[in-house]
Structure 1
Amino acid sequence: MSREVSVALVQMSCTENKQQNVDKAVERIEQAADRGAQIVCLQELFTGPYPCQEEDHRMFDWAESIPGPTTERLAEVASQRQVVIVASLFERRAPGLYHNTAVVLDADGSTAGIYRKMHIPDDPLYYEKFYFTPGDLGFRVIETRYAKLGVGVCWDQWFPEAARLFALAGAEILLYPTAIGWIDDEKEEYGENQYNAWQTSMRAHAIANGLWVAAPNRVGVEGRVQFWGGSFVVAPTGELMHQASHEQEETVVHRCSLDMLDLVRTHWPFLRDRRIDAYDGLLKRHLSP
């Protein structure tokens, strides 16, 4: 029998009201389930505004424990609708210890696994190092009822090493909850290229590893950032299967054939031809002359 799974990406704007954001996400999940979605991935830090545009201790109030109120609410929905939910949260792990964490809730409402963001950026208006401790769980695959998932978060998506490790661990679909956009005074000059680079990087992950890649991104203007939406699904061939708009709230639903992994990897045997005996240099920060 062929293996197919329907994946949904929820692209939405967020307000200062946490309950409203969670309620909206739940509504979108249920709508996706009505459209046949089996795996629903929410955008990065969906419970509130993106907190890292400045270094502000008050933003830590958005953090919550895992498990906690949001995961409990989503677990109920997962169980009721028999869907897998991937949710990115501002995790309060212990006093003074915070992570940017993706929780994967299986279709029975149980926690299939969590992933803590490994690569933490520090760019203008993306001051994440002030808030988040780098993850300590590595690049483990999370097995769910419908598929084996490799889940990274936003900045992780730029690193081919992470995508490769997820693939080698058995991932069938890579999911990257994202919050990325244009800074107001850069969009006109750099905007098109920035979006293209984001998408191209992940299409390359799909090709190099022969698996599905999907990324939900938020929309709307928050402070000086216009989040560019454009959530998309890429096949193992690198083909862009579906792309959302740049400005509208939208839920992308796409049916993914998991049988394609074997077919593509057989015709493009990049994993077969890897020279694992020659890659020691990847474990070094820099290779001196």
Structure 2
Amino acid sequence: MATTTSAIRVACAQTDPVLGDIAASTAATVDAIRSAADAGADVVVLPECASSGWAFADMDESRAAAQRLDGETLRAWQSEAQAHGLWVCGGITELGDDDRIYNSAVLVSPDGVESVYRKVHLWNTENDAFVPGDQGFPVVETPFGRVGMLICYDAWIPESFRSLALQGADLVLAPSDWVPNPHQPDYLPPAAHIVTMAGAQANQVFVASASRVGVERGQRFIGASIIVDPFGWPLSRAGTDAEDLIWADIDPVGSRDARRNDPFNRPLGDRRPEAYVSAAAAGHFDAAQAGATA
């Protein structure tokens, strides 16, 4: 990758991990990285839990498929990053130094692990297999701009994107395992696309979301990976039924002025924090009572 420009080709690879099988799941990611490299990618994004599958029944099962940051999957990703001169972002089932199990995303350069994000907002049965992330939303400097990560359901929580944007993120990489939405009207795009496009536009960032395909324990995954520009418009979209590879050419640093000084919409620059309700002023929202009726 040239060091004189921040222009890059970012790719999203849809894989079909094998639940609990680190070797097979890792092999699929290596094939995907090599395909992305052949397509000229500088950055490749892989799905959530690409190292192991996702539908764990409980913490014991996820622990059996968990790896530390020097494990088989990350060694393979760094090897491919070195071989092809690119960066890899993907989801792993992480065994932390505290021996807890996290649903994590890792950014790997040819030099090694550059950043780790542990999923803050666990969805549904994930609460049985993982503990919530404990390190917030890190943003790191790279040759192609400031980069942050989210994982799947995080995109539904607006504070996730905003936490990265307020730290100056140019590009958000989002390993995901999107599933069908039971409330989805047939005439609209997937809800995952809507929240991703909204997050990109509201925070003036590029977003590259890689989602998986296949079925685990009766749960179907919809693929539909997407790359979105900072104005909320899709640059590339994948299909829903098979492994796939998409890419887009973007310039995260070179576009900063245009993104932040748009004459029509400046959702970051026009914020008025003094007018917003703080958590302290509003009181604690009781999630357990969120569905209660008066």
CA contact (8 A) 1:182 1:191 kept: no
Q: Which residue of 2 aligns with 1:151?
A: 149
CA contact (8 A) 1:236 1:261 kept: no
CA contact (8 A) 1:178 1:215 kept: yes
Residues 129-278 of structure 1 aligned to structure 2 (within 5 Å): 129-182=127-180, 186=182, 190=184, 192=186, 196-258=190-252, 259-267=254-262, 268-278=265-275
Q: Structure 2-normalised TM-score? A: 0.87
Q: Deviations over 1:137-193 (max 9, x none)?
A: 11120222333211011111111111011011111111110012138xx5xx74748
Matched, 1:87 2:90: yes
Residues in 2 aligned to 1:241 and 1:266: alpha-carbon distance in whole angstroms = 21
Q: Which residue of 1 aligns with 2:116?
A: 114
Residues in 2 aligned to 1:2 and 1:76: alpha-carbon distance in whole angstroms = 24
Deviates more, 1:155-164 or 1:2-11: 2-11
Q: Which residue of 1 aligns with 2:278?
A: 281
Q: Which residue of 2 aligns with 1:35?
A: 39
Residues in 2 aligned to 1:47 and 1:90: alpha-carbon distance in whole angstroms = 7
**Cα deviation, residue 70, structure 1:** 1.5
**Cα deviation, residue 282, structure 1:** 4.3
Letter in 2 for 1:261: R
Alignment partner of 2:164: what SS?
A: helix
Alignment partner of 2:195: what SS?
A: helix
CA contact (8 A) 1:14 1:48 kept: yes
Q: 1:191 to 1:73 in 2, by over 3 A?
A: farther
Residues in 1 aligned to 2:69 and 2:133: alpha-carbon distance in whole angstroms = 14
CA contact (8 A) 1:10 1:251 kept: yes
Task: Identify unmatched segments of 5+ residues in structure 2.
Answer: 287-294
Q: 1:207 to 1:58 in 2, by over 3 A?
A: closer
CA contact (8 A) 1:112 1:143 kept: no
**Cα deviation, residue 131, structure 1:** 1.7
Q: 1:46 to 1:94 in 2, by over 3 A?
A: same
Residues in 2 aligned to 1:95 and 1:266: alpha-carbon distance in whole angstroms = 43
Residues in 1 aligned to 2:63 and 2:237: alpha-carbon distance in whole angstroms = 33
Q: Deviations over 1:217-269 (max 9, x none)?
A: 00112222110000001111111111100101101111113233321321222
Instruction: Indicate the RMSD between aligned Cα atoms, in angstroms.
Output: 2.3
Residues in 1 aligned to 2:251 and 2:203: alpha-carbon distance in whole angstroms = 15
Q: 1:195 to 1:91 in 2, by over 3 A?
A: farther
Residues in 2 aligned to 1:133 and 1:271: alpha-carbon distance in whole angstroms = 31
Q: 1:261 to 1:269 in 2, by over 3 A?
A: same
Residues in 2 aligned to 1:272 and 1:147: alpha-carbon distance in whole angstroms = 19
Report percent identity of matched pairs: 27
CA contact (8 A) 1:38 1:146 kept: no
Q: Deviations over 1:9-66 (max 9, x none)?
A: 11011224421221121121122112111111110001233233x3373342111112
CA contact (8 A) 1:76 1:109 kept: no
Letter in 2 for 1:260: S
Q: Deviations over 1:70-106 (max 9, x none)?
A: 1112111111211111121111115651111111112
Q: Which residue of 2 aligns with 1:10?
A: 13
Q: Deviations over 1:261-285 (max 9, x none)?
A: 3213212222121112223424543
Q: 1:56 to 1:92 in 2, by over 3 A?
A: closer
Residues in 2 aligned to 1:51 and 1:63: alpha-carbon distance in whole angstroms = 13
Residues in 2 aligned to 1:64 and 1:3: alpha-carbon distance in whole angstroms = 32
Alignment partner of 2:258: what SS?
A: helix
Number of positions where the alignment pairs a residue of Structure 1 with one of Structure 2 = 277
Deviates more, 1:222-231 or 1:143-152: 143-152
